[in-house]
Chain A
Amino acid sequence: MNEPAQEWRASAVRQVEADPQAIHRLFPQAERRGGPGARRALLGALRGDHAVIRSLYEGGDSGERLAILTVLHELGLEDAAVALVEDALRTNDARLVAAALGPYGSAWLDDHAFRQGVLKCVFMSIPLAAVAGLDRRFDAELARMLSDYAAELRAAGRPVPRDVLERI
């Protein structure tokens, strides 16, 4: 990382530590000015302030939302950010849906929401390898849902994805 980017990032982290609201101005430009990883550093500086994280997500573009979803599990939020994951699962953006089923979503989504999320991955051609903790959360109901979907594909003469076949 070059020196101006390093300086920008260090200064931005100090500003957020002093005033969490400063992140609203700094976060959108963080990767442009502070280099790769700058957004993660700023989120860490929030020290688990879930109200700020939530408003930051709601005001964020896709890249900002992705950056937040990707590190949610590192931020010490317990279940306070489940609504963000649920929002991401409502989108039609494969990057956001996959990130929603990362370590945080896998830890905190309820069974129904998790199963629906996994099925949505299959619909969106997101490899199931992207789902964190799938082995741990896989259950008979999810197996049934995937089997029914495979039957629907076969009836339509369409191929069943290999990672679905492996699970049923």
Chain B
Amino acid sequence: MRIFDPHIHMTSRTTDDYERMHAAGVRAVVEPAFWLGQPRTNVGSFLDYFDALLGWEPYRAAQHGIRHHCALALNPKEANDPRCAAVLAELPRYLLKNSVVAVGEVGYDSMTAEEERVFEAQLTLAQEHELPVLVHTPHRDKAAGTRRTLDVVRVAGIPPGRVLIDHLNEMTVGMVAESGCWMGFSIYPHTKMDPDRMVALLKEYGTDRMLVNSAADWGRSDPLKTRQVADAMLAAGFGEDDVDQVLWRNPVAFYGQSGRLDIDTGSETGADYAGNTIKRG
């Protein structure tokens, strides 16, 4: 079984996680830029973070046979902070990089006017750089926030097939299914979605345009949730091809729209010296 986790924050995870993920079948990930758990205070803090997502983290992932790409953006939570606004001016040069396969995570957190301005500006950046977009939906007032998100996407004129609306649940999946955007689901131990509810939604809405992620970060989360959904799908009567579509081919098709997805070269740990080098050098 091959698994592509389309949303996971590996900078917050350990090498043990990489090993367990590889053993569970994870061969590719996309790491979207988000916040640190506490507010950043200056633009340089973002730039070092972006550089890590383009440098150290893919290198670290490759040691464990996992191909790492990223999505870059000013995240919704920090879009409200005037100290961070200048990141928008730095993004264009980062969006040219080979391993950037989307703009993200963008969207609403508290649904402020400032968040909306930053969200719209980044949808424009995505179109200019011919990149798909990963959109976070707010945890508070989710249904209203998702509706408003879809309005912003529609007005921006970006084709819905280039937009992934994430963190959906039973209350919000229907409107996104109708919009033509891709549907993302984050499977968490205690909040968001769980594997059995996910399987129920796959039965109701089918497997097209559906993506499942662990969204694992520094909070209570589990990078093996993608595999648990795959197992739950098989147990519920889905075939192996359905599992492969949801957990591999769908994320490949969505992020592949960037033209930059490179999943042939990194699927196995390199046999050369670069494959075994994380020591205390």
Query: Chain A interface (Cβ within 8 Å of chain B)?
Result: 24-25, 28-29, 31-32, 59, 61-63, 91-95, 97, 120, 123-127, 130
Contacts and interface: CB of A to CB of B under 8 A. Distances in A.
Contacts of A28: 93, 96-98
Q: Give the one of A61, A127, A130 with max B CB within 10 A.
A: A61
A61 B97 contact: yes
Task: Name the 3 nearest CB pairs between A and B, nearest first.
Answer: A61-B54, A28-B96, A94-B277
Given A25-B96, A93-B55, 7 more contacts: A31-B98, A61-B99, A62-B58, A63-B98, A94-B273, A120-B281, A126-B277
A49 B276 CA distance: 36
Contacts of B59: 62, 93, 95
Contacts of A93: 55-56, 59
B220 interface: no
Contacts of A123: 279-281
Given A61-B98, A93-B56, A32 B259 contact: yes
B156 interface: no
Contacts, number: 55
Contact of A32 (B58, B260, B276, B279): B260
Contacts of B281: 92, 97, 120, 123-124
Contacts of B278: 92
Contacts of B99: 61
A93 B97 CA distance: 18
Interface string B237-253: 00000000000000000
Interface string B52-96: 001110110000000000000000000000000000000001001
Given A25-B96, A61-B98, A125 B277 contact: yes
A125 B277 CA distance: 6
A12 B54 CA distance: 24
A124 B98 contact: no
Contacts of B56: 91-93
Given A61-B54, A61-B98, A24 B93 contact: yes
A63 to B, nearest CB: 6
B175 interface: no
Contacts of B97: 28, 61
B274 interface: yes
A94 B278 CA distance: 8
A144 B55 CA distance: 34
B254 to A, nearest CB: 19
Contacts of A61: 51, 54-55, 97-99
Nearest to B54: A61
Q: Give the one of A29, A32, A62, A130 with max B CB within 10 A.
A: A62
